[in-house]
Amino acid sequence: MKQIRVHGPNDVRLDDIDPPAPGPRDALVRIAACGICGSDVSYIHMGGLTKGPMCLGHECAGIVEWVGAEVTGTRVGDRVIVHTDGGESGSLGSGAGEGALTHELLVRDAARGRLYRVPEGMPLRTAALAEPLGVGMQAVNQADVSPGDKVAVFGCGPIGLMAIATLLDRGIHEVVAIDLGPARLALAERLGAQAALNPVETDVWAELARLHGTKPFRFGPTAATDAFIEASGSDQVIGDVLQNGRFGGRMSVVALHYQPVPTSFLMLLMKQFTVRGSIEYPERFEDPIELLARRDLSALITHDFPLEAFHDGLAVLEGSKDCGKVMITMGAE
pLDDT digits (tens, 9 = 90+) for 44-69: 999 998 888 999 999 999 999 999 99
**Residue 292 lies inside a defined structural domain of this protein:** no
Residue 283 within any structural domain of the chain = no
Mean pLDDT of 150-171: 98
- Asked if the structure places residue 201 within a domain, the reply is yes
Same domain, 93 and 138: no
Which residue, 229, 219, 230, 222, is CA-closest to 248? 222
Residues 121 and 149 in one domain: no
For residues 124 and 147, membership in a common domain is answered with: no
Residues 148 and 100 in one domain: no
β-pair partners for 85: 91
Question: Number of structural domains, the chain?
Answer: 2
- Where is the domain boundary, 277, 306, 321? 277
Q: Report the percent of the chain where pLDDT is more than 90.
A: 94
Same domain, 147 and 93: no
Task: Check residue 50 and give its pLDDT.
Answer: 85
- Looking at residue 231, its pLDDT comes to 98
Task: Give the pLDDT band of residue 100 (cuts 50, 70, 90).
Answer: very high
Per-residue pLDDT at 333 exceeds 80: no
* Mean pLDDT value of segment 224-235: 97
Average pLDDT over residues 234-260: 96
Is 153 in the same domain as 249?
yes
**Weakest-pLDDT range from 81-95, 163-177, 186-200:** 81-95
User: What range does the domain containing 164 cover?
Assistant: 132-277
For residue 203, pLDDT over 80 is answered with: yes
pLDDT in tens, 173-186: 999 999 999 999 99
Asked whether residue 239 is domain-assigned, the answer is: yes
CATH of the domain at 12: 3.90.180.10
Structural domain contains residue 284: no
* Average pLDDT over every residue of 212-232: 96
Mean pLDDT of the chain: 95
Domain annotation covers residue 310: yes
Mark whether 256 and 302 lie in a shared domain.
Answer: no
Asked whether residue 120 falls in the same domain as residue 184, the answer is no
pLDDT of residue 88 exceeding 90, the answer is no
Whether 91 is covered by a domain: the verdict is yes
**254 and 192: one domain?**
yes
pTM for the model stands at 0.96
The answer as to whether 285 is a domain residue is no
Q: Is 259 a residue whose pLDDT tops 80?
A: yes
Same domain, 101 and 143: no
Give pLDDT, residue 170. 97
**2 in Cβ contact with 30 (< 8 Å):** no
DSSP labels for 208-237? HHHHH-EE--TTS-EE---EEEE-S--HHH
Q: How far apart are CA 33 and CA 55, in angstroms?
A: 16
CATH of the domain at 164: 3.40.50.720
Which has the closest alpha carbon to 40: 16, 10, 15? Answer: 10
125 and 139 in a single domain? The answer is no
d(Cα 329, Cα 303) in Å, to the nearest integer? 10
| pLDDT over 80 at 79, yes or no | yes
Quick one: pLDDT at residue 118?
A: 98
Same domain, 185 and 229: yes
Which residues have CB under 8 Å from 184's CB, separation 6+? 156, 157, 160, 161, 177, 322, 323, 324
Tens of pLDDT along 123-132? 999 999 999 9
**What is the model's pLDDT at position 201?**
96
